[in-house]
Chain A
């Protein structure tokens, strides 16, 4: 679970696509339309003349400056899009009454879940992490069951564990459960029930 800025990724791809399509259309117009060649030569010639009128030095450094600015913008957008990929810090939740205060850290919660899941034979591996989506924390339980295990059984089991944990810590957790297949599941012994 990560918070990559998907909109930004797609926006950048969209911009590049529009520029590429525009250049393609331009090249086609020059190649196919009558008079396209003349227009190209006069427009590009005018551009070249303008560059030369600036003088070699200033045109060169101006171009370098423009390139640097463009590169910085690209790097900023790309890093903004990817930076969302950090995990939320493990948080602690607690309840207080007259007797005192109980604090349960997410670390404990995740260990408890992992241990409980590890006892099941049909679950090969599990990973519990806390993520943040729009300032709200979400518990992510990722499990890889053996092949042929019913995802319904797995979901039911994890759901029960999370519910129990919620009862224990006194806080209703927002949980996201993902059930994976993978190389590990393919290589391990199948879960074949014998009737």
Chain B
């Protein structure tokens, strides 16, 4: 797909817009600002403060290092820095959604990872004869994990299963490409 408009669409649909985080931050800031404005106006009109009058608050801030232990400043600083770091991570990380793009000629196709996982499990079940309930598939950003739990006494050809999974995954033409991992889990049948 070469179309730049569709490229934009696919990028948008596979990455979080961060709207919720932005709105939460803005609403919190607005609440804090509104509270400050209310206290100042109450003070100017001579009414009782809601919590603390602005003049006293300012005095407390100026006297804070002597009134409080330095430890309080350190703790406060660490808390602020941690919250700041969380917001920074939200601002800078790509925020990938659990979706993949399928390379599909001129069309832009985006598929939820869950759809890929269930389709892959069903395909493997159809091709190998192992019951669908005994196959668990997890699809992550760059890897597909397949766990097969065949019933006791039924031999399975792991290479064959791996080939089926690889072929099916390749046919989806997922982007970014995924690596497949297959695990055959035998129930504990040791006799003792």
| Chain A residues in the interface with B (C-beta under 8 A) | 1-2, 4, 6, 9-14, 16-32, 36-37, 40-41, 44-45, 48, 51, 56-57, 60-61, 63-64, 67-68, 70-71, 74-75, 77-78, 81-82, 131, 133-134, 136, 138, 140, 145, 147-152, 155, 159, 162, 174-182, 185, 190-193, 195
Contacts and interface: CB of A to CB of B under 8 A. Distances in A.
A13 B81 contact: no
A16 B24 CA distance: 12
A162 B107 contact: yes
Contacts of A181: 112-115, 118
Interface string B13-25: 1010111011101
B88 to A, nearest CB: 4
A141 B36 CA distance: 48
B102 interface: yes
A159 B13 contact: no
Contacts of B40: 60, 63-64, 67
B123 A13 contact: no
Nearest to A29: B77
A118 B69 CA distance: 69
A8 to B, nearest CB: 8
List the 3 closest pairs (A to B, CB-CB), nearest first: A31-B73, A20-B84, A27-B77
28 contacts: A9-B18, A13-B91, A17-B84, A18-B84, A20-B84, A21-B80, A26-B77, A31-B71, A32-B74, A36-B65, A36-B70, A44-B61, A48-B59, A60-B43, A63-B37, A64-B37, A64-B40, A67-B33, A74-B29, A78-B22, A133-B8, A148-B119, A148-B122, A149-B119, A155-B111, A174-B3, A176-B10, A178-B110
A18 B81 CA distance: 9
A14 B61 CA distance: 26
Contact of B111 (A22, A56, A147, A151): A151
B52 interface: no
Contact of A60 (B44, B59, B73, B85): B44
A12 B115 contact: no
A9 B76 CA distance: 27
Contact of B5 (A36, A41, A148, A174): A174
B81 A24 contact: yes
Contact of A10 (B10, B62, B91, B132): B91
Given A2-B12, A179-B111, A182-B112, 5 more contacts: A9-B21, A24-B81, A48-B58, A63-B40, A149-B118
Given A13-B25, A71-B30, A23 B80 contact: yes
A186 to B, nearest CB: 9
Contacts of A20: 80-81, 83-84, 87
B156 interface: no
